[in-house]
Amino acid sequence: MVDTERLKFEAWQEALKARGLTFNIEDYIPLVGYSSEAIADSIKELSGATFNEKELILEKDTIYHTNQKPGVPVLDDAVSFLKDLINTKNRLNIKLALVSSAEHKEIKVNLERIGITAADFDAVLSGKDDLKPLYGERDVNKPLPYIYQLCSEKLSIPPENCLVFEDTNAGVLAAVGTGMAAIATQNDFTREHVFTGAISKRSFKKMKISEFVNEQPSSISTSLFSLLSNTKENPVGSEQNQRDFFL
C-alpha cells in the first residue's frame, strides 16, 4: 500500500556504511521481503564482515523510523483496490486481513498515511510481533509460512479458501507454503523476483474485485477459477506458464 522499500534500503545502506561496508541496491533487491535478521545474516555471509547483528538492525530501524516520519510514498492503485475491498467486503461476505513482516507500530503509521485503520480489517497480523509468543526470538517471519497459518486460524478460514496479494518472492513463498493461492503484485524493487508458486503476476492498476469474487456473496469468479485450475499444473515460473498480467 505504501512504498517502504527505498527507505529500508537507504537505512541498511547508512547503517552498513558506518561499519565500513558498501551496500548497493543490487545487493538489496534479492533480499527484499525477508526479515531483518535474514538480511543481516546474508550481508555477513556475502561480505565476510564481522559485526553485531542486533546492533546493526537496531541502528537500521532507528534510521528507517526517522526517515519514515515525513511520510512514505503511497501506491495509489493498490490503495484504491484496497479501499474498494473494504467498502464491499461485508456485502460480498468476505474477510480481509493485512499480513505484514513489519512491527505493529510501523503498520499503524503506514495505515494512517493512507487513511485506513486496523478496524477496517478482520485481522491485522505482524510477523515481527505476533509470532513471538509462539516461537520466541526465533526468526520465523516470511518466507516461512507461520504468519499465514496464524492468519488462517484468526479468520477461521482454511488456507485453500484464501487468496493472497504479495509483492515479494518471500511473501509468495510464505502464502503458498500455507496452501493459499497467491497473486504476485511486483513493485519497483521486486520486478526481477521469480515469485515461485504464484498463480499469476499482476498490477493493481485497473484490477477489479469482480475478477476474483462474483457479486453473489462468497462465490469465486469464473476467471479466477480458470486461472487457479490452469496454474495448478503450470505455476508462474514454470516453463509452461510464463504469462504476465499487467492491466
User: For 142-166, what is each residue's pLDDT tens digit?
Assistant: 999 999 999 999 999 999 999 999 9
Is the bond preceding 159 in cis, omega lying within 30 degrees of 0? no
Residue 72: per-residue pLDDT? 87
- Quote the pLDDT of residue 215: 58
Q: What is the rounded end-to-end Cα distance, in angstroms, of the chain?
A: 18
What letter represents residue 232's amino acid? K
| Res 220 pLDDT > 90 | no
Which has more confidence, 227 or 208? 208
What is the mean pLDDT of the segment spanning 94-120? 93
Q: What mean pLDDT is predicted for residues 40-54?
A: 93
Compare 136 and 82 and report the one with higher pLDDT: 82
Cell numbers for 114, please give them: 493512507
How confident is the model over 82-109, as a mean pLDDT? 92
pLDDT (0 to 100) of residue 227? 44
**pLDDT higher than 80, residue 105:** yes
Q: Which of 22-26, 46-50, 70-74 has the lowest mean pLDDT?
A: 70-74
The whole-angstrom distance between residue 61's C-alpha and the CA centroid of its chain comes to: 18
- Please give the grid coordinates belonging to residue 203: 498490477
Q: In this predicted structure, what is the pLDDT of residue 120? A: 96
3-state secondary structure of 123: strand
pLDDT > 90: what percent of the chain? 65
Angle formed by the axes of helices 53-68 and 104-113, nearest 10°: 20
Q: How many C-alpha atoms does 92 have within 13 Å on its Cβ side?
A: 19
DSSP 170-198: HHHHHHHHHT-EEEE---TTSTT---TT-
* pLDDT class of 224 with cuts at 50, 70, 90: very low
Instruction: Tell me the pLDDT of the chain averaged across its residues.
Output: 85
Lowest mean pLDDT: which of 14-18, 23-27, 200-204? 200-204
User: pTM for the whole thing?
Assistant: 0.83
Determine phi and psi for 27, rounding to 5 degrees: -75, -30
pLDDT at residue 121 tops 70: yes
Per-residue b or e along 145-159, where b marks 16 or more CB atoms closer than 10 Å to that residue's CB: bbbbbbbbebbebeb
**CA-CA-CA-CA torsion for 145, 148, 152, 155, nearest 10 degrees?**
170
Position 60 scores a pLDDT of: 97
For residues 141 and 35, the answer to whether their CB atoms sit within 8 Å is: yes
